Amino acid sequence: MIGRRALLAVVARPVLWPEAVRAAAAVSRRGWWRSGVPRPDPAYTEWRIVTAYGRPDTPVAPDDVIAYLRWRKRLRASRGARGG
């Protein structure tokens, strides 16, 4: 799961907020909007953390979250996607 430090890193960068919401929605379970908050499947989150860090209990590095969101934003812009 994304830890407090990683979340605060995103909160401190309003320019990445729309991308963070898009990223969260992209990996969330179907029908997430019924709860109002996009949340990824815990098994998927654990798998991603293990593939990135080698252990499921490793905190997600804030710099990695910011780099990922910036990468997503650049990729969308390079494909001509607009918005947010």
Mean pLDDT of the chain: 88
Q: In this structure, are residues 66 and 13 in contact, taking their beta carbons and an 8 Å threshold?
A: yes
HSE on the CB side for 38, CA within 13 Å?
14
Q: What is the pLDDT of residue 79?
A: 87
When pLDDT is cut at 50, 70 and 90, the band that residue 82 belongs to is low
Q: What is the pLDDT of residue 41?
A: 83
- Kindly list the domain boundaries of the chain, sorted by start residue: 4-78
Q: What is the pLDDT of residue 83?
A: 52
Interhelix angle 62-78/4-11, nearest 10 degrees:
40
